[in-house]
């Protein structure tokens, strides 16, 4: 039972480069989320999705894009990497909104450095 | 707005010591409260939760009580083990914000020495 899988685990980008952080879940969850965690800070929501074909902005969406073509996959795209995007990125999923009878399941994180 | 403040780490304890990690929150309405744990090299896992005032969440010997009067959700364990070494995150669910938006504290790193 894989749960939530993120790739890659580590990446170094040069300023202006682009990349896609992959996230897939095998639990048939309809809700998926992307968070970032800056050093010494809590997690901040970047984007979320309540189902295939539906995405919405979270607290810090600037510089990122997402898509949700399938229930399983929720990739996060960085088009023009900037040093401010150096962070650890977490993908999460849940069957419905967390706090009810469900919980959010997290991937292991992607550590991204932009130089 | 809504926010979570938890005690700064790192916290270093000897095995079998008593653990308290403080967490206070600011929120409108009636949020749900959570503790998540991240073991080295792994993702975040839900440790426990409480959905209304005076509820006590418990799991693996850890407990936390939802105190609305003090806006707190402190994590406690009576006797920690080396295997409890991890980063602990306090979080609240913001019903007034985006759906499923968990607001996290900064995390507290716990190291337990044999």
CB contacts, 8 Å: B1 with chain A: none
Residue A98 has pLDDT above 80, yes or no: no
The reported pLDDT for the residue numbered B41 is 77
The reported pLDDT for the residue numbered B58 is 97
pLDDT in tens, A55-69: 999 889 999 999 999
Of A44-53, A80-89, B35-44, B52-61, which range is least confident? B35-44
Tell me how far apart the alpha carbons of residues B101 and A47 are, in angstroms, rounded to a whole number.
10
Q: What is the DSSP string of A38-102?
A: -TTS-EEEEEEEEETTEEEE-S--TTEEE--SSSSB--EEESS--GGG-EEEEEEEESSSTTSS-
pLDDT in tens, B28-76: 777 889 999 988 878 889 999 998 899 999 999 999 999 999 999 999 9
Tell me how far apart the alpha carbons of residues B47 and B26 are, in angstroms, rounded to a whole number.
21
Q: Which of A34, A97, A111 to mutate to test the interface with B (most CBs of B within 10 A)?
A: A97
Residue A35 has pLDDT above 60, yes or no: yes
Tell me how far apart the alpha carbons of residues A90 and A109 are, in angstroms, rounded to a whole number.
5
* A54 near B CB under 8 A: no
The reported pLDDT for the residue numbered B100 is 60
pLDDT in tens, B7-33: 888 999 999 999 999 999 998 777 889
Q: Which residue has the higher pLDDT, A41 or B13?
A: B13
Q: Is B44's CB within 8 Å of A106's CB?
A: yes
* B40 near A CB under 8 A: no
Q: Which of B46, B102, B109 to mutate to test the interface with A (most CBs of A within 10 A)?
A: B102
CB contacts, 8 Å: B34 with chain A: 98-99
Mean pLDDT of A20-38: 93
Residue A1 has pLDDT above 80, yes or no: no
Q: Is B34's CB within 8 Å of A41's CB?
A: no
Residues of chain A with pLDDT > 90, as a percent, come to: 74
């Amino acid at each position: 039972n894989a749960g939530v899988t993120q790739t890659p685990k580590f990446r170094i980008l040069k300023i202006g480069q682009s990349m896609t952080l992959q996230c897939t879940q095998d639990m048939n969850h309809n809700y998926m989320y992307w968070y970032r965690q800056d050093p010494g800070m809590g997690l901040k929501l970047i984007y979320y999705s309540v189902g295939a074909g539906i995405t919405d902005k979270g607290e810090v969406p600037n510089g990122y894009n997402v898509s949700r073509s399938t229930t399983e996959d929720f990739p996060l795209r960085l088009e023009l990497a900037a040093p401010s995007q150096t962070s650890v990125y977490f993908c999460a999923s849940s069957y419905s909104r967390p706090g009810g009878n469900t919980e959010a399941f997290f991937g292991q994180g992607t550590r991204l450095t932009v130089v | 707005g809504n926010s979570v403040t938890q005690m700064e780490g790192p916290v270093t304890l000897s095995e079998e010591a008593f653990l308290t990690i403080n967490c206070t929150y600011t929120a409108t309405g009636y949020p749900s409260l959570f503790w998540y744990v991240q073991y080295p090299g792994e993702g975040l896992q839900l440790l426990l939760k409480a959905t209304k005032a005076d509820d006590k969440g418990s799991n693996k010997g850890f407990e936390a009580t939802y105190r609305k009067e003090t806006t707190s959700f402190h994590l406690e364990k009576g006797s920690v083990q080396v295997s409890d070494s991890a980063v602990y995150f306090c979080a609240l669910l913001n019903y007034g914000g985006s759906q499923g938006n968990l607001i996290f504290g900064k995390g507290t790193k716990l190291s337990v020495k044999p």
